[in-house]
Amino acid sequence: MMDWTDRHCRYFLRLISRHALLYTEMVTTGALLHGNRSRFLRFDPFEQPLALQLGGNKPTDLAQCSRLAERSGFQEINLNVGCPSDRVQNGRIGACLMAEPALVADCIKAMRDAVSIPVTVKCRIGIDDMDSYEELHAFIEQVAAAGCETFIVHARIAILNGLSPKENREIPPLNYDRVFKIKENFPNLEIIINGGITSIAQAKELLTRVDGVMVGREAYQNPYFLAAVDREFYACENSPLSRAQVLENFYLYAERELANGVILKHMTRHILGLYQGLPGARKFRRYLSEHAHCHDAGLDTLHEAVALVESLPGAVITGENHVSKYQQVF
């Protein structure tokens, strides 16, 4: 989710689900140790529960970054061993590390020794010609021996030579059975499945075979998908916020960030899918895409976009009393 799940996105998603575990975009160790550290470690406490996903291949660097993450308040650190992008491969991190399980094991041990919070791994079911169950089993076994107890497995192989990152999310066929078999062979490990999950019903079915599900593209492109998560998976009896109520709360956040110099488009690009599947959704997306980048774009721009949604005639009601009522739902 590089360039997707930044802090603005996570705040927005947290308004829809109070309990789903959220992950940052993948952050390289170099970015944390030598770049704008605040940009990647900063988050609003409202975003919790929150995990930091790291990309790296040097145990000492990963250990140092893990300490930074723990001190910053993240509840989990996830090592990405599944991203197939070119820039990741050029740094010898991400999915190409599946070919080096001993190195991944060394990284996990160093990270676990450095912190007390959980350290997890996100991987693929294979890469390139390493596409057998036996090779995946050997990878999981070696990394688990280093202390990793949770694996998030994207149920596709990654073709590192020949497919783009986008194609790697769509072209290699899903193989859920391979992930199910990993869970059967490693019953003491927490196995979380990822890839192609687009409905609550599908997630429920998968949870009969594994310990958890991770949703990426569907949660970003159709974020209100998450509205049923708290009720269906966390036994939350409160009704989810409506889309209008989500926006009421998001207005407050956007107003605060605008006052701090954040450009509106950096926030609204993450909410374009809020009305996915409803009348007026295209107008909403188009208006924000065309106007939120303007230097003078503010809350009025967001109000005007919402007013275009046919299923919600007129702009969303605003006001302190309404916002307070909606926040109590949490």
Cα–Cα distances (Å) from 279 to 57, 222, 235, 289, in that order, read 47, 14, 31, 18
**Which residue has tokens 């999981």?**
140
| Residue 178: CB atoms within 10 Å | 19
Local structure of 197: helix, strand or coil: coil
Distance between CA atoms of 302 and 192, rounded to whole angstroms? 36
- Answer yes or no: are the C-beta atoms of 22 and 49 closer than 8 Å: yes
The C-alpha angle 175, 50, 319, rounded to 5 degrees, equals: 115
**Residues contacting residue 70 through CB under 8 Å, at least 6 positions apart:** 77, 114, 115, 116, 117
Residues forming the active site: 83
Local structure of 33: helix, strand or coil: helix
